Structure 1
Amino acid sequence: MAALLERADQAVSVTTMVRSFSARLKEVSSRATDRLVIFKDNEPAAVIVNVDAYQEMLDELEDLRIEAIAHERMSTFDKSKAISLSDMKARYAAKE
């Protein structure tokens, strides 16, 4: 949870957020601030990030998932069961 905040200006209380929502949203959407952590009762309650930054995080997470699957598959790879590229093309290429 410590990684939520890099700087103090990324923290905002619910009350402050309500009072200055438009300005704070503009900060995030323009990437002047990369994220806002909203606190309620001195506990982090939500994080607001720019849409592009959020998509970048999702893309990176997907890449990491694919990499983990590839590592798992490579650990159980049996070369004797491998199919050559030419055999694969012959087997699955669209017939004209």
Structure 2
Amino acid sequence: MASVVSAINNTVPISQFNRGLAGKIFDEVKKYGAKVVMKNNMAECVLLSPEEYMRMIDEIEDARLCALAEARMEHFDAEKTISFDDINRKLGIKEEDLTDFDEVELE
């Protein structure tokens, strides 16, 4: 029953936009979360706050990167790896060449 109540509370008929209630609807989205806009008894779109949208986009990107990493690890062969020192030797980079650089921060 709670999911039915939640669905009803999170839907808004498009006619409310036509009646000039967009500001109120947007305030509710910011305060309570996403709203589904209904048109002719069908879901037309979903309203999200910019923060919630960005959170979702970040989560999707994280999932894509995780899937890519997992796919790469399936084909990982330790025998084909090249050490950091070997790469530096191949490129002619010496330890003192790297001392003037700031630390790199990875997210």
Q: Which residue of 2 aligns with 1:18?
A: 18
Measured against aligned partners, the alpha-carbon deviations of 1:41-94 in whole angstroms (never above 9, x if no partner) come to 111000000001000100010000000000000000111100112223444586
Choose between structure 1 and 2 for higher RCO, CA contacts under 8 A separated by at least 6 residues. 1
Change (3 A) 1:15 1:73: same
For residues 54-65 of structure 1, what are the structure 2 equivalents within 5 Å? 54-65=53-64
- The 4+ residue runs of structure 1 with deviation greater than 6 A are none
For structure 2, list consecutive stretches of 5 or more residues without a partner in the other structure.
98-107
Q: Secondary structure at the match of 2:31?
A: coil
For structure 1, list consecutive stretches of 5 or more residues without a partner in the other structure.
none
Measured against aligned partners, the alpha-carbon deviations of 1:23-56 in whole angstroms (never above 9, x if no partner) come to 111222xx31211100111110000000010001
User: 2:103 aligned with 1:85, yes or no?
Assistant: no
Q: Give the % identical residues.
A: 29
Q: Scaled by the length of structure 1, what TM-score is found? A: 0.80
RMSD: 2.4
Question: How many residues get paired?
Answer: 91
Q: Secondary structure at the match of 1:46?
A: strand
For residues 22-41 of structure 1, what are the structure 2 equivalents within 5 Å? 22-28=23-29, 31-41=30-40
Q: Which residue of 2 aligns with 1:49?
A: 48
Change (3 A) 1:58 1:43: same
Larger of the two Rg values belongs to structure: 2
User: 2:66 aligned with 1:67, yes or no?
Assistant: yes
